[in-house]
Amino acid sequence: MALTNKNSTAILVNSGFQQRSTDVCETKCFKWQQLLNNSGSFSKMTFRGCYDKMFDLMNPTTQVIPDHNFCTMGEAQLACLSDASVIEHSCWCEGDYCNSVSRLTIVTSILMLLLINII
């Protein structure tokens, strides 16, 4: 299914896109996200993939995969910028656990586009 706005920009939301963006993991999925909070203005960087494809599990310095779905969060202030911090999230997960928010994000984005077209 394709949705278009007044500028003819197409947004594809179909099972084909979902299939092309799917990676079957032998181990847990891993998602790492870093947010730079610069006085309330956020910059985001995200890595997501199969843990065993991203990291060398034979390397003794690689963190061991937890037995259960597990997330961590940490925040550190930056000395070089006042009122700035770095926030990091890491999650090990199976199935759609890592992507539970993405469905809501897609639905919200589509609704926002529809509202923009109505107004």
Could you list the residue range(s) of the whole structural domain that residue 97 is in? 25-118
> Considering the domain boundaries, does residue 5 fall inside one?
no
Q: Is residue 3 part of a domain?
A: no
Q: What value does the mean pLDDT take over residues 74-94?
A: 86
Rounded Cα distance between 19 and 15, Å, is 6
Q: Please give the structure tokens belonging to residue 42.
A: 């956020």
Q: Averaging pLDDT over each range in 24-28, 65-69, 101-105, 106-110, which range is the top one?
A: 65-69
**What digits encode the pLDDT tens for the residues 12-69?**
444 454 555 566 788 888 889 998 888 778 788 988 888 888 899 999 999 888 888 8
Residue 43 lies in a domain: yes
Q: Which amino acid is at 85?
A: S
Check if the beta carbon of residue 50 is closer than 8 Å to that of residue 119. Answer: no
Q: How many domains does the chain have?
A: 1
* pLDDT given for residue 113 in this prediction: 62
Assigned domain for 6 exists:
no
Indicate whether 31 belongs to any domain.
yes
Q: Does residue 53 form part of some domain?
A: yes
Residue 18 lies in a domain: no
Does any domain span residue 44? Answer: yes
d(CA 42, CA 101): 18
For residue 112, pLDDT over 70 is answered with: no
Q: What is the three-class DSSP state of 51? A: helix
Q: What is the mean pLDDT of the chain?
A: 73
Q: What is the largest CA-CA distance in the chain?
A: 57
